[in-house]
Structure 1
Amino acid sequence: MKRLLVFFGGIVGVLSLLFIGTTVLSKESGATSSSDPNTLIIYNWGEYVDPDLIKKFETESGYSVIYNTFDSNEAMETKVKQGGTRYDLIFPSESIIPKMIEEGLLLPLDHTQLTGTEDLSSFLMNQSFDSENTYSIPYFWGTIGIMVNTDEIDSSLITGWSDLWQPAFKNDILMVDGARETLGIALQVLGDSQNEKDPDKIAAAVEKLNALRPNVKAVLTDEIKTLMINNDAPIGIGYSGDAAYVMAENPAIRYIVPDDGGAIWTDNFAIPKTVGNKAGAYAFINFMLRPENAAQNAAYVGYATPSEAAKDSLPSELTQDKAFYPEPSAMELMEHYEYLGKDTVEAYNDFFLEWKLGL
C-alpha cells in the first residue's frame, strides 16, 4: 500500500508540474483565448517594445498584458483574417494597411479617445496609405540604407545604391531578404519608383539585380546584424534601427542613407476586428504616446520616434545624426512603401525568389 501511495503521489506530482508548465507556457507563448476584460492582448513585431514599459503600463492601468509576436506583415494579416484568435492591438507596416482596410480587418480609430497625437511628426501623418489616419497612427519610423565597415572600406566610396555595383565589392554585400526592399533598390537605381507596377520596369530591375550577383555574399534577415558586428562582411543592407544596434556593438560600422533614392517606412498602431478590449487598446496607445514613454521606447528599440516631444528629450548625438533623423530635403528623395495589389506583390515575390535561387 505504501508503494502504491508513493506511486499515485508521484503521478499527482507529475500532473501538477505539467499543469504549472502548461500555464506558464500559455502565458509566455501569448495564448489568446482570454475573455478577461482586464487582459490586453498585443500582437507586435519581436523585441519591438521595452519590456519595462509593459510592466509600467500594467502597474498604472491594472491591465494584464499578453504579448504575441509575428515576423512578417503577411503572417500577422493571416492570423487576423482567420479571426479565431483575439488580438486587441496590432502594429502593421504601412504597405499592408490598405489591404487590411479593404478586407475589413481594421476598425476605425476614435480620435476623441486618443491623446498625444498632436506631438506626432506632420510628415508621417495623413499619408496615402491612410489619408486621414482613420485606421492607424505611427508607432515607429525609419529608413533603409547601407551599413559599411570603415575598417575595411572607405565609406566615401559609397553614397548611393548605384555604388553597390562597383566591381571592387565582389562577394562583399549582405542583401536583405525582402522582395520589396531589394527590387526597390534596383528600381531606384534605374530611376523608377520602388512602388513600380509596370511589368517591363520590374523585369528591368531584375536584370539590374542579376548584374549585382557577383557582389552578393548572402541574402539574409536578422543574421546581417550579427555578421556585421563580427566583421564577417564589409557591407550590409538594413533598416536604420538594425544599423543603430550594429553601430553600438561595432564602432567601425557607418550607416549611409543613399542619395539616389531610399525609403521611409512606418509601423503603426491599429485596432483589428478581433479586438476584445478596446478600452485597453486605447489606454496602451495613449500610454506609449506620452513623451517620456515614447523616448524610453525609442532608446530601447533603436528606431526613430514619431513623437517630436519625445525626440526633444533624446540625446542630441542621436537626433542630430542625419542617417537616423534625415533632413527634410533628404526625405523628399525617399518614398513610402505603398500597397501594390495582390498581382503585383506576387510578381515581386516570384521575381525575387527566382533571383535568389540564381545566386
Structure 2
Amino acid sequence: MRLGKTIAALGAALLASTTFASAAGELNIFNWGNYTNPELIKKFETEFDVKVTVTDYDSNDTALAKVRQGGHGFDIVVPSASVIPIWIREGLLLEARPDEMENFKNMAERWVDVPFDPGRHYTVPWQWGTTGVSVNTAEYKGDINTAAIFLDPPPELVGKINVVPEMIDVMHMAITYAGGEPCTGDLEVLKKVRDKFAEAKPKWISMNYGNIEQMARKDFLATVNWNGASLRMREQDPNIHYGYPKDGYPVWMDNVAILADAKNVDNAKLFMNFIMLPENAALISEFAKYANGIAGSEEFMSEELSSAPEIIVPEEFAAAGKFTETCAPEVMELYTRIWTEIQK
C-alpha cells in the first residue's frame, strides 16, 4: 500500500509538469463548432505524439445533454462559465487540479479565482468575450449599440435578423432591455420579456448559430452574436460592425475541463497545461478572434487582434457588461419555459 501511494504521488507530479517529451495515444475533444485552431492541434499532436479528434457542438445545452447520456468517448469539453457549476454539481467533470500544473503561473490574475470554479480545480480558460449585435451599417445607419436591433427592430432590418439560439445570452440581453437584472425571477419583468419576444420574433428570419457567411452574403443584415464572430465577419465585409447594447450585455468565458469518465486523462492534462503557454493561447485567439485569459499571450498575437474594437470594449459601454452567472434552478425553469415558447 505504501509503495502504491508513492507511485500514485509520482504519477501526479509528472502530470503536473511538461518536462516529459511525449505521451502517445489519443485525445478526444468536444468543443464549440469553428472554434479550434487546426494549427494548435497539429502542434500538440507533433509535440506529444497524440492523435487528436475534435467533435463540434452548437450549444451548452447540446454538450450537457450528450455527456449526461454517457458512452460519448470524449475526454475534454469546453463549457461556458454560466453552466460549469452544473457540470461540477452533477459529477461530470474531473477535479484535474490545473492550479497545480506548471503553466498555471501564466493565467491572468483576474481569471485565477473565479466564482464558477474557485481556485481553478477543474477548468482553465479557452476564450472569453461578450455577446452583442452585429449589424451591416451600409444597410442600417442608426444606433447599433442597443438590443432594440432584435427586440424592437427598425424597418430596414425586419425580416433580415438572426438570433443565436443560446438561451442564457439572449435572455440576459432581453431582461436588461426590459429593465431587469440578469438571473431575475421577477415575474413582471419576465412577462415583459415573454411579450417582447412574441412581438419581435415574426420580424426575425432565423435562430441559427452559423451566421458568419450569411452576414457576409447579406442573407442577414443583423444578428445577435459574439464579438469574435463579428470580427471574423468584418474581415469579410468592412460594413459589418459590432454593437455593445447599452441596455446591458453578457460577458462570458468558455473553459476547458476534463470529463469525469475520460479515457485519456493523462493526455487531457497535457493539453490543459499546453494551452496555458502564452504562445499556444495566442494560437487559439488568432483563429477564434477572442481574448484568452493567459497573460503574455498578446506578444504572440497580431496587432489587429490586440486592438480590434470587437475585442477591446469601448469605455462608454464597459459598465453595461456583466459576467454571466449560474442562475438559481427555479429561475432557470422560468427561463426555459419562455425559451421553449419562442422556439416553437
Residues 327 and 264 (structure 1), Cα distance of their counterparts in 2 relative to 1, 3 Å cut = same
SS at the partner of 2:179?
coil
1:197 partnered with 2:185 = yes
1:161 partnered with 2:147 = yes
Q: CA deviation at 1:163?
A: 5.5
Q: CA deviation at 1:242?
A: 1.5
CA distance in structure 2 between the partners assigned to 1:246 and 1:72 by the alignment = 20
Identify the match of residue 82 of structure 1 among 58, 61, 69. Answer: 69
Residues 75 and 249 (structure 1), Cα distance of their counterparts in 2 relative to 1, 3 Å cut = same
Residues 158 and 54 (structure 1), Cα distance of their counterparts in 2 relative to 1, 3 Å cut = closer
Preserved CA contact (<8 Å) 2:256 2:272: yes
CA distance in structure 2 between the partners assigned to 1:85 and 1:211 by the alignment = 40
CA distance in structure 2 between the partners assigned to 1:137 and 1:330 by the alignment = 27
Question: How large is the RMSD of aligned CA atoms in angstroms?
Answer: 2.5
SS at the partner of 1:42?
strand
Q: Specify the code of the residue in structure 2 equivalent to 1:81.
A: R
CA distance in structure 2 between the partners assigned to 1:217 and 1:107 by the alignment = 41
Which residue matches 1:257? 244
Identity %: 28
Which residue matches 1:173? 161
1:230 partnered with 2:201 = no
Residues 252 and 306 (structure 1), Cα distance of their counterparts in 2 relative to 1, 3 Å cut = same
Q: CA deviation at 1:136?
A: 1.4
CA distance in structure 2 between the partners assigned to 1:112 and 1:236 by the alignment = 37
Preserved CA contact (<8 Å) 1:174 1:233: yes
CA distance in structure 1 between the partners assigned to 2:207 and 2:266 by the alignment = 39
Which residue matches 2:86? 99
Which residue matches 1:267? 254
CA distance in structure 2 between the partners assigned to 1:123 and 1:332 by the alignment = 17
Q: Specify the code of the residue in structure 1 equivalent to 2:282.
A: A
CA distance in structure 1 between the partners assigned to 2:61 and 2:212 by the alignment = 23
SS at the partner of 2:116?
helix
Residues 111 and 318 (structure 1), Cα distance of their counterparts in 2 relative to 1, 3 Å cut = closer
Which residue matches 2:123? 136
| 1:177-199 alpha-carbon deviations (Å, 9 max, x no partner) | 23323222221112212322333
User: Which residues of 2 match residues 214-229 of structure 1 at below 5 A?
Assistant: 216-229=203-216
Residues 183 and 73 (structure 1), Cα distance of their counterparts in 2 relative to 1, 3 Å cut = closer
Which residue matches 2:32? 45
Which residue matches 2:104? 117
Identify the match of residue 66 of structure 1 among 38, 47, 53. Answer: 53
The normalised TM-score by structure 2 is 0.83
Residues 51 and 250 (structure 1), Cα distance of their counterparts in 2 relative to 1, 3 Å cut = same
Unmatched segments (≥5 aa) in structure 2? 1-22
User: Which residues of 2 match residues 21-32 of structure 1 at below 5 A?
Assistant: none
SS at the partner of 1:210?
helix
Q: CA deviation at 1:229?
A: 0.7
CA distance in structure 2 between the partners assigned to 1:263 and 1:59 by the alignment = 37
The count of aligned residue pairs is 320
SS at the partner of 2:248?
coil
Q: CA deviation at 1:274?
A: 0.8
Preserved CA contact (<8 Å) 2:106 2:277: no
SS at the partner of 1:206?
helix
CA distance in structure 2 between the partners assigned to 1:343 and 1:110 by the alignment = 31
Residues 84 and 166 (structure 1), Cα distance of their counterparts in 2 relative to 1, 3 Å cut = closer
Task: Using the TM superposition, name which of 307-316 and 265-274 deviates more.
Answer: 307-316
Q: CA deviation at 1:112?
A: 5.5
CA distance in structure 2 between the partners assigned to 1:93 and 1:332 by the alignment = 21
Residues 349 and 219 (structure 1), Cα distance of their counterparts in 2 relative to 1, 3 Å cut = farther
Preserved CA contact (<8 Å) 1:177 1:219: no
Which residue matches 1:279? 266
Which residue matches 1:348? 335
The structure in which a higher percent of residues are helix is 1
Residues 158 and 79 (structure 1), Cα distance of their counterparts in 2 relative to 1, 3 Å cut = closer
Preserved CA contact (<8 Å) 1:139 1:266: yes
Q: CA deviation at 1:99?
A: 0.8
CA distance in structure 1 between the partners assigned to 2:86 and 2:315 by the alignment = 29
Task: Using the TM superposition, name which of 146-155 and 341-350 deviates more.
Answer: 341-350
Larger Rg: 1
The normalised TM-score by structure 1 is 0.80
CA distance in structure 1 between the partners assigned to 2:112 and 2:211 by the alignment = 31
Which residue matches 2:301? 314
| 1:309-337 alpha-carbon deviations (Å, 9 max, x no partner) | 11233223322223212257744431222
Preserved CA contact (<8 Å) 1:142 1:264: yes
Q: Specify the code of the residue in structure 2 equivalent to 1:160.
A: T
